[in-house]
DNA sequence: GTGTACTGGTTGAACTCTCAATAAAGTTGG
DNA sequence: CCAACTTTATTGAGAGTTCAACCAGTACAC
């Protein structure tokens, strides 16, 4: 054990600004979604993940792994989503321990209804306040953090592509 | 109402990397604190805010405002911190509606015990994985986001100060 | 003064998340 | 084959957050 390497005042400032901004931002999005679409942000993410999967279906464990969610959390969440009629569960025929979660039409409709408001919020509160250069920097910084945490980052846009 | 301005694929990638990184990072810190010091991150922040206040005392509303916490949340949290013996409450003599929260010696000791582990985590998982340039960029980006959200950012280090 | 509105803070219920325990199905090695 | 282990998913209790409702106490008006 060595001595604690304390933060310099500059680092402290950056740290506080970052944690405050990240927190306020996620809070903003969570509230917007809850208010306008009646779903927590984590549930929205589940619906998004399912909507992008082949046949709009994923194993519970894949769904949990897709974002850093625990199995337990997912069980509770999907139970709730099933109540809402947005997802159905079925057991895997080849491995009877496993469960599939599938997005229903209602779930997809709910997602489509929620998406515009959410995207608008992300654009206004994040991309509109940053320069193109800063957006690039933020991407690099985020990836560096993810690497440091041992989270695999998805491959992406090779810096210069027009996009969409 | 105009058309939704959707995200380009590059923007999507940055957005996901950012939200994932911010999430994983805060999660990491929250777990580390809970595991090693038995307190949630928000409680740690409350103790920090109190420790920096004159006489280690703040009005409940100031404490709530200091970070984006609701009054209700603070009431519950401080009630819990009082149970733990880390904070005491007293009514304001000039305005009998108001309450003061004051950090106890035990609370200060708990904070001092928790700080090194937390700071070490912040250094390893954030500052060690970024270049000095990126740290500066992250500071600017965070401040821009805060401005966009209407959150006043504290004044700071004028770019070039050695720090601490 | 009394009525009205506002502010500071607390409370309770509903909900989400975490952690530990559990059940059930699959895997491995003698 | 069967016992020990691992994996997949669920469950229940406990803790924190949110939202709405709620008391005081204060401020402003007439």
In the prediction, which pLDDT does A163 show?
40
pLDDT-wise least confident of B16-30, B52-66, B149-163: B149-163
Q: What is the pLDDT of residue A157?
A: 63
Return the pLDDT at B159.
52
Query: Cβ distance A19 to A7 under 8 Å?
Result: no
Give me the pLDDT at residue A2, please. 73
Q: B70 — alpha (psi -120 to 50), left (phi > 0) or beta?
A: beta
Mean pLDDT across chain B, nearest whole number?
A: 92
Q: In the predicted model, what is the mean pLDDT of residues A40-69?
A: 95
CA distance A156 to A138: 14
Tokens of A86: 């947005």
The pLDDT value recorded for residue A155 is 63
Query: At B163, is the pLDDT very low, low, confident or very high (cuts 50, 70, 90)?
Result: very low
Percent of residues in chain A assigned helix, strand, coil, to nearest 5 = 65, 10, 25
User: Which of B30, B66, B139 should one mutate to test binding to chain A, selecting the residue with the greatest count of A CBs within 10 A?
Assistant: B139
DSSP summary character for residue A94: S
Q: Please report the pLDDT score of residue A68 as a whole number.
A: 85
Paired with B88 in beta bridges are B102
pLDDT of residue B158: 57
Residue holding tokens 């440091």? A148
The pLDDT tens digits of the residues spanning A116-141 come to: 999 999 999 999 999 999 999 999 99
Scanning every residue of chain A, which has its alpha carbon at the shortest distance from the alpha carbon of B27?
Answer: A68
Retrieve residue A131's tokens. 């320069």
Could you tell me how far CA B25 lies from the centroid of its own chain?
Answer: 13
Give tens-digit pLDDT for B81-102: 999 999 999 999 999 999 999 9
pLDDT in tens, A30-50: 999 999 999 999 999 999 999
**Cα separation, B46 vs B64, whole angstroms:** 9
Task: Express each pLDDT in B98-156 by its tens digit.
Answer: 999 999 999 999 999 999 999 999 999 999 999 999 999 999 999 999 999 988 766 66
Which nucleotides of chain C does any protein CB come within 7 A of? 7-12, 15-21, 23-26
CA-to-CA dists, residue A158 to A49, A126, A151, B12, angstroms: 23, 21, 20, 13
For residue B160, pLDDT over 50 is answered with no
Q: What is the pLDDT of residues B7-17, one digit of tens each?
A: 999 999 999 99
pLDDT score recorded for residue B155: 61
**Strand D protein footprint, C-beta under 7 A:** A 27, 31, 34-35, 59-61, 64, 71-72, 74-76, 78-79, 89, 92, 95, 97-99; B 40, 42-43, 69-70, 72-73, 76-77, 80, 94-97
Residue A1 predicted with pLDDT over 70: no
What's the mean pLDDT when you consider all of chain A? 92
Q: Which of A2, A6, A19, A67 to mutate to test the interface with B (most CBs of B within 10 A)?
A: A19
Per-residue tokens: A50: 């399912």
Domains of chain A: 21-149 (1.10.10.10)
Q: Is the CB of B49 under 7 A from strand C?
A: no
Q: Measured between alpha carbons, how far is B37 from B40 in angstroms, rounded to an integer?
A: 9
């Amino acid at each position: 054990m060595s001595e604690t390497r304390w933060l310099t005042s500059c680092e402290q400032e950056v740290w506080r600004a970052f944690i405050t901004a990240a927190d306020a931002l996620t809070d903003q999005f969570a509230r917007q979604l809850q208010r306008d679409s009646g779903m927590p942000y984590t549930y929205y993410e589940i619906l998004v993940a399912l909507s992008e999967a082949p046949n709009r279906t994923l194993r519970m464990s894949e769904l949990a792994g897709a974002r850093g969610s625990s199995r337990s959390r997912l069980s509770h969440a999907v139970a709730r989503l099933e109540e809402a009629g947005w997802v159905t569960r079925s057991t895997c025929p080849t491995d009877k321990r496993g469960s599939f979660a599938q997005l229903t039409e209602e779930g997809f409709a709910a997602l489509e209804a929620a998406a515009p408001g959410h995207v608008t919020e992300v654009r206004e509160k994040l991309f509109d306040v940053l320069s193109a250069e800063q957006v690039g920097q933020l991407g690099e910084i985020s990836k560096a953090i993810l690497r440091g945490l041992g989270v695999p980052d998805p491959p992406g846009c090779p810096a210069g592509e027009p996009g969409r």
